[in-house]
Structure 1
Amino acid sequence: MSTLRARAAHLDATDPLAACRDEFLPAEGLVAYLDGNSLGRPLRATAQRIEHLVRHDWGTRLIRSWDEQWMELPLRLGDRIGQVCLGAAPGQTVVGDSTTVMLYKLLRAAVAAAGPQRPQVVLDTENFPTDRYVAEGIAAETGAQLVWLEPDPAKGVTPDLVAGALTERTGVVLLSHVAYKSAWVADLPAITALAHDAGALVLWDLCHSVGVLPSDLDAHEVDLAVGCSYKFLGGGPGAPAFGYVAARHQERLRQPIQGWMGHAEPFVMGPGYRPGAGMRAFVSGTPSVLAMAGIEDTVDLIERVGPDRVRAKASSLGRFVIESVDETLATRGVRVVSPREDTRRGAHVTIGHPRSREVTRELWAQDIIPDFREPDGIRLGLSPLSTSYTEVAEALEAIGDQLARG
């Protein structure tokens, strides 16, 4: 056994979350799955839940299930995510749309609330494409002005960078808590406070932090947030996003996609729209019950294990990757792109090499699954509940083998 694998075996043997891996469905032939930050693995309990939903809730109860449970599901499930993962009191989180649609709804509402005296939206060039594209579309339809931050791609947005862009015309600040390429963790409390001091609202994208990194939205007085559920929340392909709107803003923010289920009295089917109370007003059309079914079991598991222990495992996996790259791959030209400090790094590590695209393709052929990120990054997703140190060691040794044959 190599030194790297021996270290990994020891870490797996002493991992307090090791038993969690047995709760996931086995993937036949898989050597290493390091792309859980794009699509998390399914739990055994989730497979059972979906089968029960199809056979009983849908197959037997049929339309009655809407009255019995589904009508309130977006709000009830939102509260569960808020309680366990967001540090959010009940009545502030809802589930139901794609990340793109939810982001549009909240950003559009925030821009309208900021008004013509504060037309500027501060955002960064390294953010995920959806965030940038949605903001561009809203600017085109409203006349909002986009103020672009240009952070170091290997790091991310800092408070100093944000402070330099804030003016009396800033209406909204739109940023990601964890950078999707580098894994840089933004200083959410400090940046939120800076925006508030300037009189602006803050909308945080939590897609790469929810489920692995506490955000404590209420404690830090965050205004708005969105996040997906198919990564670390295990919702499955196409699972919907959540939206968070602080209670203090809910009456004055008006989301733009007014649908029947967000109406105060949806079954009256009246001639005009009247928004429902609280987060009901941020629901639009009929949500996909099947798409929401996969989320709750992972949220339950996170609560049972404890979010702090999930975060600790993510940090430990990241340290293992960085130390191993320094010891075994640096001499082959591999560099660590992600932050080395645990507090500044999310639950993935990106490494760089000129042959990364080719190496990633070859790894997939060996049932080792990371993902490639432009221009030359291999992103190693480290889902704490389902990823073993041995998987990581297998992947790093395979990368070394590919480069040695270069």
Structure 2
Amino acid sequence: MSELQRTAEDLDAADPLAAVRGRFVLDDVTYLDGNSLGALPAHVPGRVEDVVRRQWGELRIRSWEESGWWTAPERIGDRIAPLVGAAAGQVVVGDSTSVNVFKALVAAVRMAQEDGRGGGAGPVRDEILVDATTFPSDGYIAESAARMTGCALRPVAPAEVPGALGERTAAVLLNHVDYRTGRLHDLPALTAAVHAAGAYAVWDLCHSAGALPVGLDEHGVDLAVGCTYKYLNGGPGSPAYLYVRRDLQPRFDSPLPGWNSHAEPFGMRSEYAPASGAVRGRVGTPDILSLLALEAALDVWDEEGVSVAAVRAKSLALTDFFLRCVEEYVPDGRVESVTPAAHAERGSQVALRCSPTLGSARVGGAPIAGEVMKRLIERGVVGDYRAPDVLRFGFTPLYVGFADVERAARVLGRTVAG
């Protein structure tokens, strides 16, 4: 047994979250792709079976009231709220991340433009800044929102946002953690800069919620969105969520007003009147099966000792140990970390760029990184690949252990060594 293997054993033995691993369906594969799809909590299938067989199969339409289907989007939102640092009544669950980005961004621009009209001689807010390194869908949505609201769209690197803000800026769409590199951006400072310019901040939390503290209320974030199938383990395609800060809720003007967000949803009125509170973020009939699977998955956060702070502490320890193991096991010059070393700038993943010194630009007809990840998966280490040359490894502290980390780095070293 190597020194690093012994260290991993000691770290696992001292891990206060180690017991939570048993709450998940796992096998002998080292699963480091929870930043794409979280593992299945073991109790979820039984809960979903109850939803299908009893609530749907026996109670049928009565379940909208008797089983609480109708209020599920807000009820589950209140369970997610503490995981992103929000008080109850500000998060609603439903739709996809992309749909919620659209709702939030258009609403933010409308509020900014309303501010200008209310001030009489205020600036014309006709510009949206978007994270230039964002996940493609966010960029597509931002472009569409800009066309819809008559705004110009400016892609800007997050670090350059403070200098790019101006009196014409209406809204800024940013990612808390970069999906490709795992870089954690400074949410408090960037939000403050956006507010100082008189604009509204919209944050995408897909790669941070459930992995690290967010502090939406503490830092005065206006609007935020996120998915639930990564670190929240809600299942493939599980519904996303939308945060609307409490004082902004009366002004939240959704571009997708549906009957579920109407003040009288069963009044069937031809005129739209928005409901009060976070309910304004709803659109159509909620996806009950996925919603209730997510609700069951969130039970893991009720376990003794499970908290965002504990998860963050373990996340940093896991990623530190992985980088140490990579340095030890991987031959020099074969990979390079593009994830910041500083804890304050690191999410819960490590991204490694494959070096051209591995050989030709392509191996076996595939890009180097893609071929390396394929071989890793064949050898029982599951991460993922992002073009053109990045290997991503996600660390979900609720079920990833230090032995997993050591094994992944050891297999990676053997794989890139040839």
Asked if 1:386 corresponds to 2:414, the answer is no
Partner-residue secondary structure (3-state), 2:203: strand
Q: C-alpha distance in 1, partners of 2:146/2:130?
A: 12
| Contact in 1 for aligned 2:331/2:413 (Cα 8 Å) | no
RMSD over aligned CA atoms reads 1.4
| Contact in 2 for aligned 1:108/1:256 (Cα 8 Å) | yes
Residue 12 of structure 1 is matched in structure 2 by: 12
Residue 192 of structure 1 is matched in structure 2 by: 191
Asked if 1:316 corresponds to 2:317, the answer is yes
Residue 375 of structure 1 is matched in structure 2 by: 388
| Contact in 1 for aligned 2:84/2:214 (Cα 8 Å) | yes
Q: C-alpha distance in 1, partners of 2:409/2:328?
A: 11
Partner deviation per Cα, 1:216-275 (whole Å, 9 max, x = no partner): 111111100000000011110010100000111111121011111111111121222111
Q: C-alpha distance in 2, partners of 1:401/1:90?
A: 49
| Contact in 1 for aligned 2:334/2:416 (Cα 8 Å) | no
| Contact in 2 for aligned 1:211/1:302 (Cα 8 Å) | no
Residue 34 of structure 2 is matched in structure 1 by: 36
Residue 408 of structure 2 is matched in structure 1 by: 395
Residue 21 of structure 2 is matched in structure 1 by: 21
| Contact in 1 for aligned 2:200/2:222 (Cα 8 Å) | yes
Offset at residue 330 of structure 1 (A) = 4.9
Give the letter aligned to residue 387 of structure 1. V
Q: C-alpha distance in 2, partners of 1:49/1:74?
A: 17
| Contact in 2 for aligned 1:147/1:165 (Cα 8 Å) | no
Give the letter aligned to residue 100 of structure 2. M
Q: C-alpha distance in 1, partners of 2:288/2:333?
A: 49
Residue 258 of structure 1 is matched in structure 2 by: 257
Partner-residue secondary structure (3-state), 2:71: helix
- Counterparts of 1:250-329 in structure 2 under 5 Å? 250-304=249-303, 305-329=306-330
Q: C-alpha distance in 2, partners of 1:203/1:357?
A: 33
Partner-residue secondary structure (3-state), 2:171: strand
Residue 84 of structure 2 is matched in structure 1 by: 86
Asked if 1:219 corresponds to 2:226, the answer is no
1:132 aligned to which of 130, 139, 145: 139
| Contact in 2 for aligned 1:332/1:403 (Cα 8 Å) | no
Dislocated runs of 4+, deviation >4 Å: none
Partner deviation per Cα, 1:139-171 (whole Å, 9 max, x = no partner): 223321112213xxxxxx33xx21110111111
Offset at residue 138 of structure 1 (A) = 1.4
| Contact in 2 for aligned 1:79/1:92 (Cα 8 Å) | yes
Q: C-alpha distance in 2, partners of 1:224/1:375?
A: 32
- Counterparts of 1:335-350 in structure 2 under 5 Å? 335-350=336-351
Partner-residue secondary structure (3-state), 2:225: strand
Offset at residue 294 of structure 1 (A) = 2.6
Stretches of structure 2 lacking an aligned partner (at least 5 in a row):
117-123, 356-367
- Counterparts of 1:346-361 in structure 2 under 5 Å? 346-354=347-355, 355-361=368-374
Partner deviation per Cα, 1:319-369 (whole Å, 9 max, x = no partner): 011111222215152111101112211110011113322110111222321
Q: C-alpha distance in 1, partners of 2:331/2:101?
A: 39
Partner deviation per Cα, 1:186-225 (whole Å, 9 max, x = no partner): 1111111111111010000000000111111111111000
Q: C-alpha distance in 2, partners of 1:289/1:268?
A: 22
Q: C-alpha distance in 2, partners of 1:81/1:65?
A: 23
Asked if 1:118 corresponds to 2:134, the answer is no
Q: C-alpha distance in 2, partners of 1:172/1:352?
A: 33
Give the letter aligned to residue 291 of structure 2. M
- TM-score normalised over the length of structure 1: 0.94
Offset at residue 303 of structure 1 (A) = 4.3
Q: C-alpha distance in 2, partners of 1:282/1:22?
A: 36
Partner-residue secondary structure (3-state), 2:164: coil
Offset at residue 35 of structure 1 (A) = 0.3
Residue 171 of structure 2 is matched in structure 1 by: 172
Tell me how many residue pairs correspond in the alignment.
Answer: 394
Offset at residue 100 of structure 1 (A) = 0.6
Residue 183 of structure 1 is matched in structure 2 by: 182
Residue 47 of structure 2 is matched in structure 1 by: 49
Partner-residue secondary structure (3-state), 1:210: coil
Q: C-alpha distance in 2, partners of 1:342/1:388?
A: 19
| Contact in 2 for aligned 1:24/1:42 (Cα 8 Å) | yes
Asked if 1:365 corresponds to 2:378, the answer is yes
Q: C-alpha distance in 1, partners of 2:184/2:215?
A: 14
Partner-residue secondary structure (3-state), 1:13: helix
Q: C-alpha distance in 1, partners of 2:254/2:224?
A: 14
Q: C-alpha distance in 1, partners of 2:49/2:263?
A: 33
- TM-score normalised over the length of structure 2: 0.91
Q: C-alpha distance in 2, partners of 1:18/1:252?
A: 45
Q: C-alpha distance in 2, partners of 1:366/1:205?
A: 34
- Give the stretch that moved more between structures: 272-281 or 311-320: 272-281
Give the letter aligned to residue 212 of structure 2. L
- Give the stretch that moved more between structures: 89-98 or 390-399: 390-399
Give the letter aligned to residue 255 of structure 1. S
- Give the stretch that moved more between structures: 314-323 or 51-60: 51-60
Offset at residue 374 of structure 1 (A) = 2.0
